[in-house]
Structure 1
Amino acid sequence: MAELNGSPVSLEDLQTLALTNYGHFTSMRVDDGVIRGLSLHMERLVRDSRLVFGAELDPEKVLGYVRQAVAHQSGSFNIRITVFDPALEMGHPGVEAHPQVLVTSRPTGAMPPPPLKAKTFSFSRDLAVVKHMGLFGQLHLRRKAQLAGYDDAIFVESDGRVSEGGTWNLGFVDEAGTVVWPDAPVLPGVTMQLLQQAHEQTTTAPVTLADLPRMRAAFATNTSIGVRSISKIDAVEFDSDDPVLDTLRKAYAGLPDERL
């Protein structure tokens, strides 16, 4: 399923995505009509449209497109809302933009997925605060990690701070049982924000590779996976069954419903 501004999308409309690849998006998991953090996803789209296009986006209109697009779907699935301007040319990105809304959906898996193994790479995302469409660097490192026998990549800033994963936020549980979110340039993920609000024993602090052996557990978060255990980062192994991870999952599952 793919609709642009509430109508079937054409191949011509999609050419800009393939050839220019300039825009931003958000992804949301729907479970029986409920989306955790729906209002935060809408806030992200509005904020990022200002940053990426210098344009205002009407969240109610966006929600209308989404509701129409998935009106006949039930159960659990993922929605992606991509905001881009089909008329924007690679040679003239500075013209006045008129962003459009593409809604697509795909199947989703059970939560939480099995623990993952991650390999670290020196890498900084462009404009980390925006969930933008420029994914080449992340996917290239994900591929390198998988070719090396891991599941995904974790990024390390030039100053040695660990930041985030390929397409997810990264968290740790320290020796005292406190949840530690890396203080580094990262995407302000919706799942991360919800967990920061729901779990009291939480802090944000710089985390370096040298700090990893002192962490009890590590985990990944995004809307598709919830809270996913990380069993290994490079050669450092973590407890995938740490009780704090179960506490986080219960806190996430117990968040107030936001119905689409």
Structure 2
Amino acid sequence: MVQGCGNKCVKYFFWIINLLFFILGAVVVGLSIWMLVDKNSLATVASTVKVDLSQVLNQVNIQQLNTFLYVAIAIGGALLILGFFGCCGSCCESICAISVYFILVLILFVVEIVAIVLYFVNKTKLQQGFVTIWRDELVSKYTTQQQIHQVLDQIQSSVSFATSSQPYIIIRLFLQCCGAAGCSDYVQYGAFPTSCQCATIQQPGCATLLWTAFENNLIYVAFVGIIILFVEILAMIFSCIIIGAVREKRAQA
């Protein structure tokens, strides 16, 4: 066992935090795989906790749900692996395991820093890409997919934010926007959804407004990002402390 009260506190704190990461990762991966294999699992869980998700389940696209679950499995798997190496390394005082843990956290840290730099360097291109994706995934399907066509045609001015069950309708009514970049997105289709009110008001695009809202609240996103980076720095510092303590103990043996 490592020597010194401070080193022991760091070791046990490090072990507890990584145990929580391991449990959280296992739960996320387990639930995601269950939902991926059994499509009725979400309804089963909802009925168990007495939550009515019937309207949400009716509107969820299977492909979109699968994509979300794959992302959840990837995130949960990353937490699972980090937690495993952190717990094993601190519990068994394995320099190899803690070194792997340090390298994995360092890789995540570098990737996040690079992503932040790329965001600020390519901010304009990212905004244009977001608008393009919105136009391709929603606006273009106004004429190509009957379900989207019906959803947009059924929008009425009397539909309220609280009673609407369609995510896209909720966004449009709440933001008072239309299309991706504006009413012009629907010109080529020869008709506008009734909620756009393009005949009387030149409404801005939903994607444009959402991106603006994101940038206006970037301080909160930055705050969360700083916390994550700070936790990763602490994890690397603690792992270095434990490695140093283990080497010191072995040198004295």
- Where is the strand percentage greater, Structure 1 or Structure 2? 1
- TM-score bracket, normalised by the shorter chain, equals under 0.3
Q: Give the alignment's TM-score, normalised by structure 2.
A: 0.23
- Where is the helix percentage greater, Structure 1 or Structure 2? 2
Q: Give the alignment's TM-score, normalised by structure 1.
A: 0.23
Q: Which structure carries more relative contact order (alpha carbon 8 Å, separation 6+)? A: 2
Structure with bigger gyration radius: 2
